[in-house]
Structure 1
């Protein structure tokens, strides 16, 4: 019993249930496409921004805030300044990408960073989600950190060989940067995916018997407060004129 208690780490402080995170991610991902009210878009973007700050992802949150604010500014002055047709198309594309897709991307970044694989599997089990979705998601949660470590190792190896942007080797053969960086990464990605899939099956995720989980997940007052604040904030934006 002591060993089980040592393994089961109970998070303290502000922590949302994975099911609430999935709900908020679905709301953010769909809301930005359904309604183009500026105040509503800002309210939707504030949800992932606030969650990123609570999870101490300050760098990601600041980058998102700067890009989203720049997108709003460009959208506001776009009609008052005449740009060439090609540049105007690029601006519309980039602004739409930032305003419509980035909030959902940031919710995904928060979900992955703040949720462990065990919590995700336990939450999906409570939702009676099939193993066709549970197994790929459990692999994904371990795949992204492993891929980041592999990418960092490849970057360090390239730096030791002076194959990076701005060096003499780069200017002599710019294509070498792509070849030496992405080809090893692609090979590593395939190998990592196979290893993690085998590890997930070894742990019995495909076992038809209902599995147990020592990870404790439950709705708390943080979930209720977050959902209420988000709902009130989104509803109030409908009373703000465009």
Structure 2
């Protein structure tokens, strides 16, 4: 048994409905947080969930990036005035609102299989007009990521750097070799995934079957309680700030 197999064995699996609910709670917390300290607490809670799901590297890197932005905001922007202050404040305000939801969405997408998601949404009686686009998206993102790596490998063979430096030094060549093939691959992948989903009976009106039992477990209730407590504390702090 390899180390990767042992790691997956000890990972905690959350119900897909739990992840959707946590995304909604995170959006509420991020948009109503009275200060950056509450958003830092939210990021730490999301990172804790990611570690439980087995996304250790992703959670650590995401937390470090957010803390770096937080330190930049508190240490640098306090001594800046004028146009630079307005520009960075407007940009970072948007980043701080979107970052926690994006980080949690990355964990949810990377740890949720399409069949589990479909079965969970079927149990929740969610309309197929919502479920089918989301199911295609779950399979679409990994496909595009694979195409991205293939395109970068092909660019290196042509001695074109797929980086910001390469874009600045050779913008025309970078766009021709990177963005144009990526857009074509994305369009083709979307059509193929939609056709494959219909072929596999995604529009079947009858109830779906799944080998994995989709149900709420103790870990789902505990993590929902943690996020709910965070939301309550956030509203209490917002009331105190007002």
Q: Which TM-score band applies after superposition, normalised by the shorter structure?
A: 0.7 to 0.9
Residue 40 of structure 2: aligned partner: 42
Q: Is the 2:11–2:53 contact (alpha carbons within 8 Å) kept by the matching residues of 1?
A: no
Q: Is the 2:139–2:193 contact (alpha carbons within 8 Å) kept by the matching residues of 1?
A: yes
TM norm structure 2 = 0.84
- Would you tell me which structure has more helix in proportion to its own residues? 2
Q: Is the 1:150–1:188 contact (alpha carbons within 8 Å) kept by the matching residues of 2?
A: yes
Question: 1:171 Cα shift?
Answer: 8.0
* C-alpha distance after superposition, 1:107-150 (max 9, x if no partner): 11010011100111011101111111111112111111111111
Q: Is the 2:114–2:138 contact (alpha carbons within 8 Å) kept by the matching residues of 1?
A: yes
Residue 190 of structure 1: aligned partner: 187
Number of equivalenced pairs: 230
Residue 220 of structure 2: aligned partner: 223
TM norm structure 1 = 0.84
Q: 1:171, 1:33 → 2: CA distance?
A: 35
* C-alpha distance after superposition, 1:15-39 (max 9, x if no partner): 1111111111111012211232344
| Gap runs ≥5 in structure 1 | 1-9
Question: 1:97 Cα shift?
Answer: 2.9
Residue 65 of structure 2: aligned partner: 67
Q: Does 1:31 align with 2:24?
A: no
Question: 1:64 Cα shift?
Answer: 1.9
Question: 1:215 Cα shift?
Answer: 3.0
| Gap runs ≥5 in structure 2 | 1-7
Question: 1:228 Cα shift?
Answer: 2.0
Q: Is the 1:74–1:95 contact (alpha carbons within 8 Å) kept by the matching residues of 2?
A: no
Q: 2:89, 2:102 → 1: CA distance?
A: 19
Residue 4 of structure 1: aligned partner: none
Q: 1:17, 1:170 → 2: CA distance?
A: 41
Q: 1:103, 1:172 → 2: CA distance?
A: 33
Residue 128 of structure 1: aligned partner: 125
Q: 1:77, 1:170 → 2: CA distance?
A: 31
Q: 2:55, 2:220 → 1: CA distance?
A: 19
Q: 1:197, 1:189 → 2: CA distance?
A: 12
RMSD: 2.6
Q: 1:152, 1:233 → 2: CA distance?
A: 38
